[in-house]
Copies of this chain bind each other. A is one copy, B any other.
């Protein structure tokens, strides 16, 4: 059905920052026949995935699984907790923070959007200090929630969520903390309970290595309480009924059964590898990627080394180079998909995904494709980037080796 126009053989390299490549093991799990979502087998499946997903969010509280893609889970977070006209404080880290802010407006909320000047916000993480300052001003507690993106997929910048919690607490402000870690979950360390997050939003098609189609709200007791007395008009997204039926492993309406098969398998894979090793693997591949970018003499979109994303790396193009033309050339000549620059940085950067079911050789193939493509596109490169990436990967033991040695 689907064909590549330019390549007639071999595997396509899907190196966008999500959807990430779905492992065969998960595709096979998803091809199990659909079952009765009211029968005993389904209940066992439901209890398994509901139990497992909490370990990934590091929460003892409910995680609501929606048969809807990630954008839906954004809406769910807002519509369960905010009342019409409520003010939400958001922070501009890139395109996805911008879209969430736009959604808040669509839903009739009043988003306030903190930003660094110019495009700087798209190269730096959330500034907890700015949030704290703003909350201190809000003595009448007009602001009902602080919403930040943990791993900004459009830029490759990862923010310090715990610092945001500390900022809220330092300001003595009762606002809820809502975090989007759609692309961060199961790639970068994430601690819903420990960091005091009230609602965490995530999706299936990134670190969980599934196709898109299910999404999540991890919900603190405080958020749950807020949802009981408030919220926007909503029914599909309503937490209460879902959480009640989840006690026995069922959902009030038809769940996305085959994706739940995939989730069950993904949980097995991730917990077998162990979360800490999953995170270390992402960090190591990301560092190799950045060494390649530096080898080429190109600039990394994230300007703050403490905020480098383990999930993806944004590569800025020299002035005058159209990043989308480079991506197109690489797609056509080397059978690889890269992420485009979005919004404010459209055409000025591309994004290399190194998340999910990735390993050393896959990353090096991706870097080789970039290197050849950049050269063919006439981008002047200082030196090979693949070579320093190889040097780094050869010099550092992989997570599997680390684990074996532990």
Q: A residues touching B (Cβ–Cβ < 8 Å)?
A: 1-14, 16, 18-19, 21-24, 27-41, 44-45, 66-72, 74-75, 79, 84, 102-103, 106-108, 203, 205, 211-214, 232-236, 238, 253-259, 261, 264-265, 269, 272-273, 277-278, 281, 331-337, 340, 356-362, 364-366, 368-369, 371-372, 375-376, 384, 386-387, 390, 393-394, 398-401, 403-404
Contacts of A261 in B (CB 8 A): 1-2
Assess the A359–B9 pair: CB atoms within 8 A: yes
B386 touches A368 (CB 8 A): yes
**Beta-carbon contact of B368 and A235 below 8 Å:** no
Closest residue on chain B to residue A340 by CB atoms:
B38
What is the copy number of this chain in the assembly? 4
Q: Are A1 and B32 in contact (CB under 8 A)?
A: yes
Q: Are B400 and A2 in contact (CB under 8 A)?
A: no
Contacts of A214 in B (CB 8 A): 213
A13-B361, A265-B1 as given contacts; A31 in contact with B33, CB under 8 Å = no
Q: Which of B233, B365, B386 contacts A362 (CB 8 A)?
A: B365
How far does the alpha carbon of A203 sit from the alpha carbon of B67 in the complex, in Å? 12
CB nearest neighbor in B for A44: B2
Complex contact A11–B362 (CB within 8 A)? yes
A14:B32 contact, CB within 8 angstroms: no
Complex CA distance for A261 and B46, rounded to whole angstroms: 25
How far apart sit A84 and B232, CA to CA, in the bound complex (Å)? Answer: 11
Contact call A256/B1, Cβ cutoff below 8 A: no
Chain B residues whose CB sits within 8 angstroms of the CB of A258 once the complex forms:
22, 30, 211, 213
Which residues of B have CB within 8 Å of A400?
Answer: 6-8
Q: Are B386 and A40 in contact (CB under 8 A)?
A: no
Cβ-closest 4 pairs across A and B = A10-B359, A365-B365, A68-B68, A71-B253
Name 25 interchain pairs, CB-CB below 8 A, sorted by A. A4-B41, A8-B269, A8-B272, A8-B400, A19-B36, A34-B212, A40-B331, A67-B69, A67-B213, A68-B72, A69-B255, A72-B72, A102-B235, A106-B235, A106-B238, A108-B233, A211-B257, A212-B254, A212-B255, A335-B360, A362-B365, A364-B365, A372-B390, A372-B394, A384-B387
Please tell me if the beta carbons of B35 and A12 are within 8 angstroms of each other in the complex: yes
Question: Do the beta carbons of B34 and A21 come within 8 Å of each other?
Answer: yes
Which residues of B lie under 8 Å from residue A360 when comparing CB positions? 10, 334-335, 369, 372
